[in-house]
Amino acid sequence: MIRNTKYNYVRVPRSDDDGSRTYVVGKNKLPSVTTILSRTKDQRSLQNWRQRIGNEQADAIMNLSSKRGTAMHKFIEAHILEKGYEDLTSLGQQAKTMANKIIENCLLPVKEYFGSEVTLYYPGLYAGTTDLICDHNGMETVADFKQSNSPKREEWIGDYKLQIAAYAMAHDYVYGSKIEQGVIMICTPDLYLQEFTFQGAELRKAKHEFLARLNKYYNIIHEEKHGESADVELDQGR
């Protein structure tokens, strides 16, 4: 896989405070895309799941999933950047096998990439880190790698699509690009692999849905601070 230096990406400092991730861009402290989606999603299914199995077990499952996902990402990033990386723990070896499943089956259409673990931001509104910006089957693409404990139905991954849509808008605004496609690559611990690709009208729909969630987020923040809501408009001039 060849690195294309078309875009000059910069690292943006980030911090995790009280469970919320923020990025410091200039004088602004911007909420992460994942924080925005988490604060504005319907939590009822998660709450029902926690009640069903208990908070202690739920926390253990989520912690393990997070560690496995982080390790899987490290192996994939090391492959893309052609750097050595190893984790000899049992969890690390499981994550390595999952990473290889994605590498061997999903990254074949990627002949060149623009950046790995790229920090993106929409000035004054939000920021986040995407796994890969690349040329995927001839289209400039935002790609995300996900681990899942079980296979996903497409109707369950709506927020994954909104996450990619947010990154696409930020990339287009800051770098003057035209991201055409989003790709979500998911692998389970038992190596069940899924790939979801969306573009065109579906990508535009995801952008509009993210903007609605962004507006909802800032209304929540404004109400917490001032006791009243305030609409936020996103300039899509580019």
Per residue in 3-40, pLDDT tens?
Answer: 999 999 998 999 887 768 899 998 899 999 999 999 99
What is the reported pTM? 0.91
What is d(CA 231, CA 214) in angstroms, rounded to the nearest whole number?
Answer: 10
In the chain the domains, ranked by start, together with CATH numbers, are 29-226 (3.90.320.10)
Where does the chain have alpha helices with state H? 33-40, 44-53, 55-81, 90-106, 158-175, 200-226
The pLDDT-based confidence of 53 (bands split at 50, 70, 90) is confident
The pLDDT-based confidence of 58 (bands split at 50, 70, 90) is confident
Pairing of the two strands 20-25 and 14-17: antiparallel
- Residue that is written with structure tokens 């911007």 in the block: 30
The mean pLDDT value for 103-122 works out to 96
Residue 237 pLDDT more than 60? Answer: no
The mean pLDDT value for 54-64 works out to 84
Dihedral sign for Cα 147, 150, 154, 155, please: negative
Contacts of 51 (CB under 8 A, 6+ apart): none
